[in-house]
Amino acid sequence: MIVVMKLGSSDEQVAGVIKRIEAAGLKEHLSRGVERTIIGVLGRTFPELRDMLEMLPGVDEVIPVSKPYKLCSREFHPQDTTVKVGEMTIGGNEIVVIAGPCAVENEQQLLETAKAVKAAGATILRGGVFKPSTSPYHFRGLGEPGLQLLAQIKKETGLPVITEVMSPHEVELVARYADILQIGARNMQNFNLLEEVGRSGKPAMLKRGLSATVQEWLLAAEYILAQGNQQLMLCERGIRTFETYTRNTMDISVIPVIEKVSHLPIIADPSHGTGKWYLVAPMALAAAAAGADGLMIEVHPNPDLALKDGAQSLNFGNFQQFMSQLRPVAAAVGRSVASPPLEVKS
Ligand code: PEP
Ligand code: MN
């Protein structure tokens, strides 16, 4: 349940509510908005608690939360969460474009791609070095040397980097190099990993599982938030349906759904969402029109030679063309496209 404090309630009154929650053996989560203070009650609540809390001074109302996820629900935290990466804000008015190869292959591939996507207007560089692979015989990523390459190219281009972390014991390592930790679709319900990412406090992006419902996805997000890490965004990357023409079915409708039920920023990944390069731009534009806070696009210097996901990767020309299409679409829905960092910090 959520305790909504009256406008102008005092710190003392807030402390009184917290004391009462703790006395009932429960935990609280305090959210101070511009106008109102909201206190979430975490744990197994009981019906009498509602009356008890409602009687306390400064309390306006106590609302039972109908959803099983609390910390990531809009009810609980009405204002949008923004994720801060360097000087960049994700979840504000600007749409952030994350671009780069599926997998980091070598220095030249990563540097060329980073320069090209930055010149076209991307703000964050992506590149996997720990690759979840359906087949054990496929490229599994460069591992730590790949992280070093990401850090080096970040230094050269000024672009912050996002990369996937697959296991709890690698969170500390990946967090040393990356600006954002990506949790892949196959790991959406790796609860130990979620908690470790939560404890790291590092900005993170949680992809929707291959067959995950919105509720399962948000409950997974809850694991991260419950560890005290609020710097989280969600990523729709297509779901399994009966369709086989496309690799996955890009669920554009989930973008406004997330916007309605959660305060977390939502990113769309039409590369994995479709599996075909020529569907990437149309779905990315649709996602932007539907309210996505960011887009994640796979880009490779030579998609036909890519070690991973070449079929869904844009080449530089197509990426640049897509970026020029994105700006008017963003403007049409009252948003703009974030610009890359101008200066390279040493
Ligand atoms: C990726 O982003 O490269 C990736 C493996 O994505 P997903 O977890 O969505 O399959
Ligand atoms: Mn990929």
**293, 91 contact by CB (below 8 A):** yes
Of ligand 1's listed atoms, the one at least distance from the Cα of 182 is 2
- Whether the per-residue pLDDT at 311 is higher than 80: the answer is yes
Check residue 283 and give its pLDDT. Answer: 98
- Helix ranges (H only) for the chain are 11-23, 47-54, 107-120, 144-157, 171-177, 191-200, 214-225, 254-261, 270-274, 277-289, 316-332
Task: Write the single-letter amino acid at 29.
Answer: H
The Å distance, Cα 66 to ligand 2 centre, comes to 36
Where residue 156 falls among pLDDT bands split at 50, 70, 90? very high
Burial letters 260-278, b for 16+ CB under 10 A, else e:
ebbbbbbbbbbbbbbbebe
The Å distance, Cα 102 to ligand 2 centre, comes to 4
Which ligand is located closest to the Cα atom of residue 184?
Answer: 1
Of ligand 1's listed atoms, the one at least distance from the Cα of 184 is 8
Q: Whose CA is nearest to atom 8 of ligand 1?
A: 184
Identify the residue whose tokens are 């039972």. Answer: 64
Backbone angles phi, psi at 29, to 5 degrees: -135, 115
- Pocket probe mutation, ligand 1, options 182, 240, 272, max atoms within 8 Å of Cβ: 272
**27, 21 contact by CB (below 8 A):** yes
Q: Whose CA is nearest to atom 9 of ligand 1?
A: 185
- Whether the per-residue pLDDT at 342 is higher than 80: the answer is no
What DSSP element (H or E) covers 40? strand 37-42
CA distance 336 to 132: 33
- 202-222 average pLDDT score: 98
Contact residues of ligand 1, CB 6 A cut-off: 102, 128, 132, 184-186, 207, 237, 272
Where residue 343 falls among pLDDT bands split at 50, 70, 90? low
Check residue 76 and give its pLDDT. Answer: 86
Q: Whose CA is nearest to atom 1 of ligand 1?
A: 102
- 219-243 average pLDDT score: 97
Where residue 346 falls among pLDDT bands split at 50, 70, 90? low
Where residue 344 falls among pLDDT bands split at 50, 70, 90? low
Query: What value does the mean pLDDT of the chain take?
Result: 95
The Å distance, Cα 301 to ligand 2 centre, comes to 15
What DSSP element (H or E) covers 10? none
Of ligand 1's listed atoms, the one at least distance from the Cα of 272 is 9
How many C-beta atoms lie closer than 10 Å to residue 117's C-beta?
A: 29
Where residue 36 falls among pLDDT bands split at 50, 70, 90? confident
Considering the entire predicted model, what is its pTM?
A: 0.91
The Å distance, Cα 296 to ligand 1 centre, comes to 10
Check residue 338 and give its pLDDT. Answer: 96
- 94-100 average pLDDT score: 98
Paired with 63 in beta bridges are: 2
- 218-226 average pLDDT score: 97
Over residues 119-147, the pLDDT tens digits come to: 999 999 999 999 998 899 999 999 999 99
Q: What's the token pair of residue 341?
A: 């960092």
- Helix ranges (H only) for 25-106 are 47-54
- 64-90 average pLDDT score: 91
Of ligand 1's listed atoms, the one at least distance from the Cα of 207 is 9
Over residues 318-334, the pLDDT tens digits come to: 999 999 999 999 999 99
The Å distance, Cα 329 to ligand 1 centre, comes to 26
Which ligand is located closest to the Cα atom of residue 130?
Answer: 1
Where residue 35 falls among pLDDT bands split at 50, 70, 90? confident
- Whether the per-residue pLDDT at 345 is higher than 70: the answer is no
CA distance 117 to 319: 7
The Å distance, Cα 102 to ligand 1 centre, comes to 8
Where residue 233 falls among pLDDT bands split at 50, 70, 90? very high
The Å distance, Cα 37 to ligand 1 centre, comes to 38
Q: What's the token pair of residue 72?
A: 């990531």
- Pocket probe mutation, ligand 1, options 150, 182, 210, 236, max atoms within 8 Å of Cβ: 182
Give me the percent of the chain exceeding a pLDDT of 70: 99
Distance, first Cα to last Cα, the chain: 48
How many C-beta atoms lie closer than 10 Å to residue 209's C-beta?
A: 20
Maximal CA-CA distance, the chain: 67
- 90-101 average pLDDT score: 98
The Å distance, Cα 272 to ligand 1 centre, comes to 7
